[in-house]
Chains A and B, each alone.
Chain A
Amino acid sequence: MSTARTLATAARVLRQLGHDPRSIALMILVPCVMLFLLRFVFDGSPQTFDSIGASLLGIFPLITMFLVTSIATLRERASGTLERLLAMPLGKADLIAGYALAFGLVAVVQSLLATSLALWGLGLDITGSAWLLLLVALLDALLGTALGLFVSAFAASEFQAVQFMPAVIFPQLLLCGLFTPRETMQPALEAISDVLPMSYAVDAMNEVLRHPDVTGDFVRDILVVAACALFVLALGAATLRRRTA
């Protein structure tokens, strides 16, 4: 693994994005618009906005980065640039870390804007520190990047890649405790939700919402999210083959 090649790859991914201002605007603004919408949907019950809003601050970066990464790496596979890079002295880890770094930076900007808007513009009321919200959002973005990279190996077209979003993300969204507390679900579903990483992302957000300090549960939750992200990134790396049929 080479730091210089990783940085060059991250810079290249950001340059590509730089030629596509509309995508940047969509990535940055859509979460803010959704939070704004949500605030007034729950106009009569601010507590509901607090809890759902905090969870969504963690879920938005995951979904955005999942979509962006799966399409970007699919393009890399389809355009032949992946084959070219792997025939050059580039490590697989350099490529993956480059993508994670570039999209992680975008996620930081996205989360900073969304979190600031929620806390100071829309009156989202949290007990813990805003920095912890940001940390969880970043880890979620990393998880989204990892999942996107992994599923892009199984998509033959951009059409299929987009369909993986409902397949991979929606079940997690339903089971993560956003709609109803996980312990009130049918026991089998609760057990499934216990092994899905998004559940821990939402749990971590709720810890920040309710507790002034870093709790043991919070630490466990973010460790689970981070470990899942790294595990899936490693799986993604295994789908990059220097030799193909």
Chain B
Amino acid sequence: MMNSSGVAVLARGLTVVRGERTVLRGLDFTVLSGRITGLLGPSGCGKSTLMRAVVGTQAKVTGTLEILGRPAGAAELRSRIGYVTQAPSVYDDLTVRQNLEYFASVLLPGRGSRDARRAYVTRAIEDVDLASHADSLAGRLSGGQRSRVSLAVALLGTPEVLVLDEPTVGLDPVLRRDLWDLFHRLADERGATILVSSHVMDEAERCHRLLLMRDGRILAEDEPDDLRIRTRSETVEQAFLHLVDQADALQEDAR
């Protein structure tokens, strides 16, 4: 594994305001290079906003947020980060291959790179197991297939950091397992740093490290095993509930 001890994402006092609401409240966390970091928490706790801040598409971000040693949103990061939004963002009126060819030519433009682009497109289609649907229109695919096309776009060009917003939501168990196997291959073989969000706690067991979030704050930042031992829980879900109760009790005491 490449530079597994390095820090890919560093946040200090990360705060995001959307409208009147403070969605992220002074977060401190790190995401380690070459590892799969799970961002877990209930819907609406700020996971997507945190991911958008990392990718550099979120407005009104204050505090420190560095990705690969550069401030979030820096132009040179745009080809080094792969991003998958919660809703699949692909062109429904293009085929799977045409979608990938276009995004590949944005990443790697010019005639000279034609062979490299073709190789990237072929590999991305194989990565997400859509070779049999490569020439189908994206709009004709099932929801799960479309979200895999969206994931394939993010894999083009071998990005160093992958930010995946609920990539397995709504998928059947077999596909979910296959995707998690893919994430581990990407981390182990291509040295990718993966930040993946989920509101399903049982997916936590498949991550190297976890960021547990609630209501715009980080509850815990730890490895799944250490988290369970520390909270004397059997599962990450129980650990999460334990930490929530603890935080609520602290708040009660403070009043």
**Which residue numbers of A lie inside 8 Å of B, CB to CB?**
2, 4-5, 8-9, 11-12, 15-16, 19-20, 79-81, 83-90, 241-245
Contact = CB atoms under 8 A, between A and B. Distances in A.
A102 to B, nearest CB: 12
Interface in B28-83: 55-61, 73, 75, 78-79, 81, 83
| A-B interface, 4 closest residue pairs, ranked by CB to CB distance from nearest | A80-B89, A4-B109, A8-B105, A243-B59
Nearest to B84: A84
A243 B56 contact: yes
A181 to B, nearest CB: 44
A89 B106 contact: yes
Contacts of B109: 2, 4-5, 8
B94 A15 contact: yes
Interface string B85-128: 10111111110001000110111011100000000000000000
26 contacts: A2-B109, A4-B109, A5-B106, A5-B109, A15-B98, A15-B102, A19-B137, A80-B85, A80-B88, A80-B89, A81-B91, A85-B106, A86-B57, A87-B55, A87-B57, A87-B81, A87-B83, A88-B78, A88-B106, A89-B75, A242-B57, A243-B56, A243-B58, A244-B57, A245-B18, A245-B60
A12 B98 contact: yes
Contacts of B137: 19
Nearest to A16: B93
A9 B98 CA distance: 12
Nearest to B157: A88
Interface of B: 18-19, 55-61, 73, 75, 78-79, 81, 83, 85, 87-94, 98, 102-103, 105-107, 109-111, 137, 153
Given A4-B110, A87-B55, A87-B83, A19 B60 contact: no
Given A242-B57, A242-B73, 16 more contacts: A2-B109, A8-B106, A11-B102, A12-B102, A16-B94, A19-B93, A20-B93, A79-B89, A79-B92, A83-B57, A86-B57, A89-B106, A89-B107, A90-B106, A243-B57, A245-B59
A12 B94 contact: yes
A19 B140 CA distance: 12
Given A84-B153, A87-B56, A87-B57, A245 B19 contact: yes
A2 B88 CA distance: 27
Contact of B91 (A79, A83, A86): A79
A65 to B, nearest CB: 18
Contacts of A90: 106
B105 A5 contact: yes
A2 B59 CA distance: 26
A242 B91 CA distance: 19
Contacts of A243: 56-59, 61, 73
A87 B90 CA distance: 14
Contacts of B78: 87-89
Contacts of A79: 89-92
A83 B88 CA distance: 12
Contacts of B55: 87
A8 B101 CA distance: 9
Nearest to B89: A80
B242 to A, nearest CB: 34
Contacts of B106: 5, 8-9, 85, 88-90
Contacts of B102: 8-9, 11-12, 15
Nearest to B113: A4
B83 A19 contact: no
Given A20-B93, A245-B19, A4 B105 contact: yes
Contacts of A87: 55-57, 78, 81, 83
Contacts of B93: 16, 19-20
Contacts of B73: 242-243
A81 B90 contact: yes
B91 A12 contact: yes
B18 A89 contact: no
A207 B59 CA distance: 49
Contacts of B56: 87, 242-243
Contacts of A85: 106
A245 B18 CA distance: 6
A79 B99 CA distance: 13
Contacts of B90: 79, 81
Contact of B79 (A11, A19, A81, A88): A88
